[in-house]
Amino acid sequence: MRVAQLALLVALLGCPGKSGDDPKPGSGTSTVDITKEQARFDAERKPEKVIEALKIGPGSRVADVGAGSGLLTVHLARAVAPNGKVVATDVDGGVLENLLAPRMQAAGLADVVERRVVEADRPGLEKEDGQYDAILLAEVDHYFQQPVAWFKTAARALKPTGRFVITNRAEHRARSLTSARAAGLALESESTLGPTHFVATFVVPHQ
């Protein structure tokens, strides 16, 4: 699949499972809609386990790759507030602007989150190395055309004590773990999020 086609596919799908049944941009999403959708997502996906795997807290800097409408981003922002930062990336600027931004605004966390449009095959994180405490990939790494190269590039953005956390549907588990290991990452822990999802933590080995 060509990169342009991949970008379009990711934009159209909006990272399914992360954005759930989000209303379309410009549909006049209300605070009530956001609250109901968030409650449903939280009950099904157990975001507290993802936060635990990330090992982040106030002051941490974390990247939410393929953030979509921000259903997980809001939990990251709460965890690192008030002086931390979440860099929420997506290939679709409209989703970030029309769905994620209102969610952060409603939660009073807009100042904690930086929205960033990136290319489908590039992490799009800081050019300087060692800026992030954690990088989260939630239901997104199976879209990468070259996942091993992606992980190798993104690993440079992590601090020496930083970690990758991958959560996805069980059917993508083998590919996710194989790609991360092929990129030189070491599996630190793995667990399940109910019957349909897994969460795996990887670190960058240092000599």
Q: Given CATH 3.40.50.150, say whether it is the number of domain 3-203.
A: yes
Environment class of 23 (CB within 10 Å of its CB; exposed 0-12, middle 13-18, buried 19+): middle
Position 168 confidence tier, pLDDT thresholds 50, 70, 90: very high
Model confidence band, residue 15 (pLDDT cutoffs 50, 70, 90): very low
pLDDT at site 194:
83
CA dihedral 173, 71, 69, 56 (to 10 degrees): -80
For the chain, percent of residues with pLDDT exceeding 90: 73
| Whole-number pLDDT of residue 127 | 85
User: Is residue 156's pLDDT more than 50?
Assistant: yes
Confidence of residue 207 (pLDDT cuts 50, 70, 90): low
Query: Does the pLDDT value for residue 18 go beyond 60?
Result: no
State residue 52's pLDDT score: 96
Alpha helix ranges (H) inside the chain: 3-13, 31-45, 47-54, 73-80, 93-95, 101-106, 147-155, 173-182
- Answer whether residue 82 shows pLDDT above 70: yes
How large is the average pLDDT for residues 135-164?
97
User: Does 58 or 37 have the greater pLDDT score?
Assistant: 58
Question: Tens digits of per-residue pLDDT, 103-126?
Answer: 999 999 999 999 999 999 999 998
pLDDT of residue 43: 82
pLDDT, residue 32, reads: 65
- Residue 193: what pLDDT? 87
- Average pLDDT (146-174) is 97
User: pLDDT-derived band of residue 166, with 50, 70 and 90 as boundaries?
Assistant: very high
117: which strand partners? 90
Give me the residue spans of the domains in the chain.
Answer: 3-203
CA geometry: angle 74, 8, 103, nearest 5 deg: 15
